[in-house]
Amino acid sequence: MSQEGKGPVRPLHERIITDYFATTSSAGHTGKADYAKATVGLARGLVDWFDVKGKVVVDLGCGTGELCWLAKKHGASRVVGVNLSEGEIAYASEYVDAEFVHQDILAYLSGCSAESIDRIFALNILEHLAKDTLGQVLEQAARVLRPKGTLVAMVPNAISPFGTMTRYWDITHHLAFTPSSVRQLMRLAGFAEADFREWGPRPHGVFSTIRFLLWQGIRAATAFRLMVELGSAKGGVYTVDMIFRLTKA
C-alpha cells in the first residue's frame, strides 16, 4: 500500500525506531544536556557491573549517549554507541566523546571480529527485537566478547505485578522477560552464567532510604503471594524493570 506522492508506507515499528528522537526521546531533552546529572541514577544502579576501566565497551541501542558518556568518564579505552536513530546519534555526538555508528545492532555485531569486545550493554533495547532477531543478537554478542566478557541488559520484568506497564509503555516493545526466559537464551547463545538484579530504589539520602525500606515491604508481600500460589518466590526480582548480566566462559 502507498500514499499518492509519498511512496510505500514504512511499517509502524520501523518508523518509530528510526525516528526515535523525534517520537520519543526528545521529550526528555528540552535544553542543554547535563550528562553528569542524567547519569547519576545509571551509575548508582549498575554499580560493580560497570567495571569498564581500560575496556572496549559497546552500547547497543545507545539512545542519546548517556551510558557512553559514563563509560568514558569511568576510563573505558574505547566506547562505541550503536543506534538506528540518526536524531539520537546527532544529539549524542554533540556532547559525548565516543564513536557512534548508525546501524542495526545485529548487523553491527555480525561485522565485529571474534573476541574483540570486553563489555556490551543493552539497556532498554532487547525488548524491541523480534524473537528470532533477539536470539541472533545474543549469539553474536557471545561470539564477539572476549573470554569472561559480559553483556548487561535492562528489560521489562514479566514477574513484576506491574510488569505489563513497562512491557506496553512503548508501542515498539515486543517482549517482557523472566529469569527463566533469560536462562533459556543464555544457553542458546552460548553464555556460561546469568545473574539478575532489581532496578529499584537504592539508599543515598533520607527520601531514597524511605523508598528503599518501603520497597522491602512490597517485595516481601510479593514474595509471600507467589509462595502461596506457586510455592516459589520466582527468583525475588520484582521491580518493573530488571537487569541481568550474561558472562562468557
Residue 216 lies in a domain: no
Per-residue pLDDT tens for 73-91?
Answer: 999 999 999 999 999 999 9
Residue 103 lies in a domain: yes
Residue 110 lies in a domain: yes
Residue 206 lies in a domain: no
Lowest mean pLDDT, pick from 22-31, 123-132, 177-186, 230-239: 22-31
Cell of residue 165, nine digits? 506497564
182-206: average pLDDT: 96
Residue 26 lies in a domain: yes
**Average pLDDT of the chain to the nearest whole number:** 91
The residue range of the domain holding 91 is 2-201+239-247
Sorted by sequence, the CB contacts under 8 Å of residue 164 that are 6+ apart come out as 176
Say which amino acid occupies 94: E
In angstroms, what is the C-alpha Rg of the chain? 19
Residue 157 lies in a domain: yes
Say which amino acid occupies 1: M
Q: What is the pLDDT of residue 1?
A: 38
Q: Is 126 exposed, middle or buried (0-12, 13-18, 19+ CB in 10 A)?
A: buried
Structural domain count of the chain:
1
CB distance 214 to 130 below 8 Å? no
Residue 113 lies in a domain: yes
Query: What is the C-alpha to C-alpha distance for residues 179 and 84, in angstroms, rounded to an integer?
Result: 28
Which candidate, 192, 245, 203, places its Cα nearest to that of 48? 245
CATH number, domain with residue 113: 3.40.50.150
What DSSP assignment string belongs to 43-90?
A: HHHHGGG---TT-EEEEET-TTSHHHHHHHHTT-SEEEEEES-HHHHH
- Whether 9 shows a pLDDT value over 90: the answer reads no
Residue 153 lies in a domain: yes
Band (33; pLDDT cuts 50, 70, 90): confident
Which candidate, 148, 230, 234, places its Cα nearest to that of 183? 234
- Whether 221 shows a pLDDT value over 90: the answer reads yes
